[in-house]
Amino acid sequence: MKAFILDRYGKTAALRLGEAPEPKLQDDDILVEVHAAALNLLDVKIRNGEFKPILPYRPPFILGHDVAGKVVRVGAKVAAFKVGDEIYARPRDGRIGAFAEFIAINEADAAHKPRNISMEEAASIPLVGLTAWQALVERAKLQKGQKVLIQAGSGGVGTFAIQLAKHLGARVATTTSTANIELVRSFGADVVIDYRKADFEKVLSDYDVVLNSLDGQALEKSLDVLKPGGQLISISGPPDPQYGKEAGLNGILRLVMGLLSRGIRNKAKARGASYAFLFMRASGQQLGQIAALIEAGAIRPVVDRVYPFQALNEAMAYIETGRAKGKVVIKVK
């Protein structure tokens, strides 16, 4: 099969279009013909080597964390899917590889594709949808009437998280650039802060939850908007010891994570708030719930650009600019 292969780590390392063996199928796997795959900053960071201590992939390997396609074969123990089913998924860590014509996925990581959207739109959802779900529903337990700040509202996670938070009945504030103010308002944001004209920490106060995807400076400022008992959840780091424990990392790595996050954890504690790092995990069950929301019209996918499969490196370069509104997708079939 054709696939884009990472031969070596590095910021200038282009992915190579070449031939790769078709994935081997385990008993609880489905073999999926990839119709579309989405790109994420996670792909860029893995290519650059930033996640080697946590996700030790050995080159050569195939990148890609978001996929939509059709089931062409099922393992002996698969019960939830049959040949011909249309699915979408974020394969679990260690088994990524969406930038290819075929991918083998554990059936527990996949869900039936929402019926009312295209393959390209479906591919845009899994990673950002699961991130938002696990941050707001699972971790924050966001309730009707609570207030949440979602940083970078026009990005992949932001566009989904705003819609999910509004569905949950929360009051939503977000940060964005001047050009994207109307876009984030169209998703339901109640308070929109143009980060070029105002400091969010001087405008907002008494918030229950902050979902941070920005740098360390924004992370610390986020504490200023939280009420006592508020939660600061970051998907951009630093990782904390609890994450290391949940991920099954060794004691040395967990110690390092404790040192990296000690400053922000102590500052949160001093304000009567809490800090947590979130690195989303695969979940077909949660994708099934998300699919129901999409089919009901509560959430709509946001796709900035669709590139042909052969232009994957061009799409990666665009992702790195940070200008994408929503997700960038490649059409494989």
Average model confidence (pLDDT) across the chain: 96
Q: Strand, helix or coil at 233?
A: strand
**Domains of the chain, CATH where assigned:** 2-124+301-331 (3.90.180.10), 127-277 (3.40.50.720)
Q: Which two tokens stand for residue 312?
A: 């994957």
**CA separation for the pair 286, 293 (Å, rounded):** 11
| Contact yes or no for 284/109 (Cβ under 8 A) | yes
pLDDT tens readout for residues 25-81: 999 999 999 999 999 999 999 999 998 888 889 999 999 999 999 999 999 999 999
Q: pLDDT-based confidence at 201, cuts 50/70/90? A: very high
DSSP structure string for 33-84: EEEEEEE-HHHHHHHHTTTTTTS---SSEE---EEEEEEEEE-TT--S--TT
Distance CA 199, CA 188 (A): 21
Average pLDDT over residues 140-144: 98
In one letter, which amino acid is 272?
G
Q: Report pTM.
A: 0.96
Q: Which residues contact 115 (CB under 8 A, 6 or more apart)?
A: 295
**Cα 286 from Cα 47, distance rounded (Å):** 27
The pLDDT tens digits of the residues spanning 181-190 come to 999 999 999 9
Q: What's the pLDDT tens digit per position in 146-185?
A: 999 999 999 999 999 999 999 999 999 999 999 999 999 9
Q: What pLDDT is recorded for position 248?
A: 87
Report the alpha-carbon distance of residue 204 to residue 185 in Å, rounded. Answer: 17
Non-local (6+) Cβ contacts of 113 within 8 A are: 68, 86, 87, 88, 119, 122, 291
Degrees, nearest 5: CA angle 169-174-179:
130
